[in-house]
A and B are shown apart, each in its own frame.
Chain A
């Protein structure tokens, strides 16, 4: 039988919670007292992003002349500070001839998109909807 979860709101603006949730995967859930979800999201999304870079995925440039490249860049940014750290460390160059290049791109893009989903979830919790 499922344990009922107490609905909670926070005195902090939901938008601030969203900013934290974007910057560090799981931070929004930590902030709102959902530590288990926060730990899980931090682990899963960070591992997914790092794995994507490790198997030679690329962090796409913001070039909207090719819409798919531009959209992929937006998805990449969705992971928050790990994206900034990767850029600063010079990771995410991508090697198109690598066998795992496309897989790496998929891992990195999906990690960003899942973090955006986590941000929306944190927003709902902060609003008292969940």
Chain B
């Protein structure tokens, strides 16, 4: 349990779930919102990771 990506995925899943539960009332909406948020977390992590890849210049 020391993989950066593994921990990133677990963290994103847990935080997405908590936000979805707090911000949506319907269970189906919670699930869809959690999935969207999870995708956004993971996508943003990869995009930022690649943008920062050349640093330090």
B2 touches A100 (CB 8 A): yes
Query: Is B27 a contact of A117 with CB atoms below 8 Å?
Result: no
The answer to whether the Cβ of B45 comes within 8 Å of any Cβ in the partner chain is no
Q: Helix, strand, loop or mixed for chain B's interface?
A: helix
Q: How far is the CA of A37 from the CA of B21 in the complex (A)?
A: 6
Q: Is the CB of B22 within 8 A of A121?
A: yes
Indicate whether B44 reaches chain A with its CB closer than 8 angstroms.
Answer: no
Q: Mark A87-107, 1 if CB is under 8 A from B, else 0.
A: 000000000000110010011
Q: How many residues of B contact A (CB 8 A)?
A: 16
Interface of A is mostly: helix
Q: Do B11 and A2 have beta carbons less than 8 Å apart?
A: no
- Tally the A-B contacts, defined by beta carbons under 8 Å: 47
Q: Do the beta carbons of B25 and A114 come within 8 Å of each other?
A: no
A44-B21, A117-B22, A121-B22 in contact; A36/B11 too (CB < 8 A)?
no
Could you tell me how many residues of chain A have their Cβ less than 8 Å away from some Cβ of chain B? 24
Is B55 among interface residues, defined by CB-CB distance under 8 A? no
Asked if A41 is at the interface (CB within 8 A of a chain B CB), the reply is yes
**Is A40 touching B17 in the complex (CB atoms < 8 A)?**
yes
**A interface residue numbers (CB < 8 A to B):** 2-3, 5, 36-37, 40-41, 44-45, 47-48, 51, 54-55, 99-100, 103, 106-107, 110, 114, 117-118, 121
